[in-house]
Copies of this chain bind each other. A is one copy, B any other.
C-alpha cells in the first residue's frame, strides 16, 4: 500500500487523487495546496485525509511513501528534489521540469537514493496509444513515414508557459514512445497575440530515416481538435481522440512509386482498400498509470515513463524554444 502525498489540487490534482483512491494498492494520505478554496474542495471529496497549506508537512512526513507533484512547471524541480532528499518516490506532472539540467539532476538524485521517478505522460496509458504502438510493433503499419498531430482549442492560457510547453508534451511523449529513436533536429515557429507567450505554435521534429513529426498547438482555436495522422509504408491511420467510439481508424492505403517512364511520367500506383477501426480499451488511462506507479515502487521496476522519458520531452521543448526564438532555425540534438 503506497501512501501518497499530493501537492497541487487545482485542475488536474483532483483526478490524480480520485484515481489513487480507486486503487487497492495506494491511498492519498495528505493533500497540499496554496489555495484555501482548493483545500476545502479536497476536504469534501476526501473526508478523513489531511489537508494543509504547508507542503513541508507532506515532504517530511514519515507516513508518506510517495509525492505526487501536480503544480505549475516552474515549481516541479524544487518540490521533487525535496521529496527525493526526504526519501520519497515521485510522480511528477508533465512537463517534468523547466530545464533539461533540472531533470538530469533529479534523475541522478533518484538513482543515488534508489527511488522511483515517474512523469505523468498519461496518454501512453490510453487504449488508443497502446493500440497504435501495437500496430507499429507488429508490423501492421510498416516502416513509419510521419506523425502529424493537431491539438488545438480555446485556452487555457497559462501565465508561466506558452502553448508549446502546455500542449506539445502530450505529443512529444507519444512520438517518443512510438518512434523510439533520438531526434536529429527540431524546428519551431509560432506567434504571440495576447500575453507575450506563444499562443499558436508549430513544431517539426526530424528523426533518422526520413521519419518526421509535426505538432500543431493553438490556444486561439474556435473549435477543439485532437487529430493525429500517422503514415506508414503499409498502412496509414487517423486517431481522433474526440470520437466517442472508433478513435483509431486504420486505412489499407498506400502509394508505390515504381520509377519513371521516359522523363516525364512517374509510374505511381495507389492502393485503397478497406478501413478498419479496432476496438480500443476504454478504461481510464490515469487509473492504469497510477496502478503502474504503485507496482513500480513496490517491485523496484523502472517505469518506461521514467525521468529519462521526462528529460527527453524537456530537451525537445528547450530545443523548440530556441528554434522559435530564431524563427525556425533548426536546433540539432
**A275: which of B159, B231, B272, B277 is its contact (CB, 8 Å)?**
B277
Q: In the complex, which residues of chain B have a beta carbon less than 8 angstroms from the beta carbon of A211?
A: 191
Residues of B within 8 A of A279 (CB): 252, 272-274
A329 CB contact (under 8 Å) in B157, B190, B191, B330? B330
A246 to B273, CA, bound (A): 10
In contact, B274 and A278 (Cβ under 8 angstroms)? yes
Chain A interfacial residues counted at CB < 8 A: 75
Shortest Cβ-Cβ A-B pairs, 10 listed: A187-B328, A222-B251, A222-B236, A159-B266, A189-B204, A191-B212, A327-B330, A275-B277, A194-B257, A328-B328
Please name all residues of chain B whose beta carbon is closer than 8 Å to the beta carbon of A194 when the two chains form the complex: 255, 257
A128 sits at the interface (CB 8 A): no
Complex contacts, A190 vs chain B, CB 8 Å: 212
User: In the complex, which residues 239-272 of chain A have their Cβ closer than 8 Å to any Cβ of chain B?
Assistant: 242, 244-246, 249, 251-253, 255, 257, 260, 264-266, 268, 270, 272
| Residue A146 is within 8 A (CB to CB) of chain B in the complex | yes
Check A195/B328 contact, CB under 8 A, given A222-B229, A238-B222, A274-B277.
no
A292 in contact (CB, < 8 A): no
- Listed in ascending order, the chain A residues whose CB lies under 8 Å from chain B are 47, 72, 145-146, 148, 150, 152, 154-160, 185, 187, 189-195, 200, 202, 204, 206, 210-212, 214, 216, 218-224, 229, 231, 233, 236-238, 242, 244-246, 249, 251-253, 255, 257, 260, 264-266, 268, 270, 272-279, 323, 326-330
* Copies of this chain, count: 4
**With A148-B200, A195-B266 given, can you name 11 additional A-B contacts, CB distance below 8 Å?**
A146-B193, A154-B255, A155-B270, A194-B257, A200-B212, A218-B229, A222-B251, A222-B253, A272-B279, A323-B328, A327-B330
- CB nearest neighbor in B for A205: B189
Please, how many angstroms separate the alpha-carbon atoms of A272 and B245 in the complex?
A: 11
> Would you give the shortest CB distance from A186 to chain B, in whole angstroms?
9
The answer on a CB contact under 8 Å between A159 and B255 is no
Q: Is the CB of A191 within 8 A of B220?
A: no
Contact check, A255 vs B187: say whether CB atoms are below 8 A apart: no
A145 cross-chain contacts in B, Cβ below 8 A:
191, 193, 200, 220
Q: In the bound complex, do residue B72 and residue A264 qualify as a contact, i.e. CB atoms below 8 Å apart?
A: yes
Contact B229 A152 (CB under 8 A): yes
Q: How far does the alpha carbon of A273 sit from the alpha carbon of B279 in the complex, in Å?
A: 5
The chain B residue sitting closest to A196, CB to CB, is B257
Q: Name which of A206, A214, A237, A265 has the most chain B CB atoms within 10 A of its CB.
A: A214
